[in-house]
Chains A and B, each alone.
Chain A
């Protein structure tokens, strides 16, 4: 589970430019990295500056075998500032399937599924004057310098940075909003428990859970808070106290009895949720969220679904796993939606694919809705688990596969 780092995000990626020689020499896997001779490979790039047509400088990148080695061959190695369109076709280099344009280590634009035999694909980025790299993972020579002359033709250059900033700011507000609702829901839960009404308490419990589950990765970034609120019985260290939602769930749904300790648990939830509010408000004020954290959080929520919801471990007594499941998906989609405007600039095809997969998951989840059930979803009984768990797993996996890729694309490190 990757969660939001409470400390500043640390990058250990080697410098792309300065470290080039080192990079190509580190044989990472089965000798797939370039050998020392990579630099001597024939470089049929014409050099020179691309001419502008259709309002953009046109660069054709041919991915092909040159002297038996998978290579990326651009027809020009520089372009004037402004929009630049890279059109990529893979002739016969099976080892290369994507091409990216980098500024330092940031991905400005890229195309995946650059596969031999398929039609050419293209992406357009607006570039200011400076040095960039064309990156072809898997090629003999993975990085090639690409230079842009002149100043910016428009203020749209590096527009993705602005979009990402808007995204993280928006997400911070979303988290705060969820926590505010959680504060109210926790108070309602405490009032119900204090009144001794089991049915009302069960209902309040079911209503409080989604607010927490939607923003779970953020809660998890506070190392003490998440276990205090959301520890499952299996994860309790012997000799430590079990607190939070789940022991209360056990009282309400298994014993169906409210005791003094149930009331203490409800009070503890209220207290810890108040702490969570303080901490998330600070994150919003300081604009601490990084785009890659949103992305990892979105993917992390899907990990949660697979590791504890589909198995029925999360809500072992209340059988509300599908309620949590839906909340995890919703939280994941929210994080994605805030990144979407920037992501659309970087990799529109992937963005479209993820949107489509979210739609598929949501449509499937609709089939589990039950207005009369606690939390609005069918109880996740053993029978339902037996019949549907494999289907749900496949569903989530086909969303997670593309979603997991976005952190790298929006990383600001």
Chain B
């Protein structure tokens, strides 16, 4: 799933046509790129021009068909549009149509193709594709579809397809959830290196299903707040690096991210559970907090992101190192610091794949900045998240500065094998 396919492998009608003449002639350069990411390009022995690098970014595609859905073990792209939907359709057939339409459209969109005509020939025709991503290229777009627990509530006769123990997340400490930002029968996570391409995808998917689904809540994310393999660790809006100890090893993916037989549903084998939490940061308050306290809260330094027991970002934190001259239970990294509570060493080896994004959305209802972290994590069981969050919600020093306002859990089915299959096909046999 992480293998990058240059767009040029597609047939001619799929070819991304760059708007820039200078690059249009440099097709060979674009095609030769295997790495695709700016970082990989920068490491190449021959310096490449900025224009070529931009073209590479634009033409980056991830294969749509495969064992797992894209957007999970894909190196996090720069932008996110996350949307949860409620199904308003009254029949299983309508739902089937939505899932089949979406699956077909997703394969087109992730290849950088419009879904239908941007400019139909007939005067009276309504444009099928809304057109704002025309000529922008696929931009590494991935689309990840998830099913909420409520989809299996009996409206569509899907009770028997519900994975074992799949339910809404339990109430946890430190929440102030807004019902308008909670739940959803379906979700789509769109990630791309360009926000307009991600937005275009969700907008068109929502539009083609307008008679059957209603958008429930949506978050636009930017500045990926988690790192994949080979990526520099980005920073959250508190100014701290986020995602330093994220899952990267294939073994961890097998153990902690991909669902096996235990869900009791063949359609979930190779899938994952997506937890979405919209976390509002009390930014203005945080900004006036002294650096010492900020670092104590996280357990890391701000600039380097090193654990307080180390010097470099990737130094392994020592949760037992005692403060010189302190009492026995006074550790350098406070036991209730964010990294100590979340560390797998302190949670029976539990890890989750974090894939969150920063968000900002003007001002909130009381005039504070409405910004924070759109936390997204993938795990083999929602229990992994629940166990960690219970602990964090109870005693995390960070809680003074954050509020969980939105929440959803979704069963993300396995990837589609090939064209002709669609998500949820097993439900309608």
Contact = CB atoms under 8 A, between A and B. Distances in A.
Interface of A: 10-14, 16, 23, 27-35, 37, 65, 67-69, 91-95, 97, 105, 113, 115-118, 137-138, 140, 292, 295-296, 353, 357, 394, 397-398, 401-402, 404-405, 407-408, 411, 413
Contact of A413 (B15, B123, B128, B129): B123
A325 B317 CA distance: 64
Contacts of A33: 13
Contacts of B120: 137, 408
Nearest to A98: B116
Nearest to B102: A115
A37 B15 CA distance: 14
A14 B122 CA distance: 8
B174 to A, nearest CB: 29
A240 B123 CA distance: 35
Interface stretch (B107-115, B233-241, B255-263): B107-115
B44 interface: no
A404 to B, nearest CB: 5
A394 B16 CA distance: 35
Contact of A94 (B11, B105, B133, B207): B105
B421 interface: yes
For the residues of A in contact with B, the DSSP-based class is: loop
A41 to B, nearest CB: 10
A-B interface, 9 closest residue pairs, ranked by CB to CB distance from nearest: A92-B419, A29-B118, A94-B104, A92-B420, A401-B210, A408-B124, A115-B100, A407-B124, A68-B11
B117 A113 contact: no
B121 A32 contact: no
A92 B425 CA distance: 14
Contacts of B35: none
Interface residues of B, number: 47
Contacts of A92: 418-420
Interface string B199-216: 000000001001100100
A328 B422 CA distance: 39
A307 B118 CA distance: 24
Given A353-B211, A402-B211, 16 more contacts: A10-B123, A28-B117, A29-B114, A29-B117, A29-B129, A30-B118, A32-B113, A35-B12, A92-B418, A94-B105, A94-B107, A116-B419, A117-B425, A137-B120, A404-B126, A408-B126
A153 B143 CA distance: 51
Interface of B: 11-17, 88, 96-97, 100-101, 103-105, 107-108, 112-114, 116-126, 128-129, 131, 133-135, 207, 210-211, 214, 418-422, 425
B59 to A, nearest CB: 12
B103 A31 contact: no
Nearest to A69: B11
A398 B113 contact: no
Contact of A37 (B12, B108, B121): B12
A413 B125 CA distance: 12
Nearest to B423: A117
B13 A31 contact: yes
A31 B27 CA distance: 15
A258 B246 CA distance: 73
A297 B396 CA distance: 59
11 contacts: A13-B123, A28-B119, A30-B118, A68-B11, A94-B104, A94-B108, A115-B97, A115-B422, A118-B96, A292-B124, A398-B88
B100 A116 contact: yes
Contacts of A67: 11
A402 B210 CA distance: 9
B112 A30 contact: yes
A335 to B, nearest CB: 15
Contacts of B103: 94, 116-117
Contacts of A137: 116-117, 120, 128
Contacts of A105: 122
A346 to B, nearest CB: 13
A117 B107 contact: no
Contacts of A296: 124
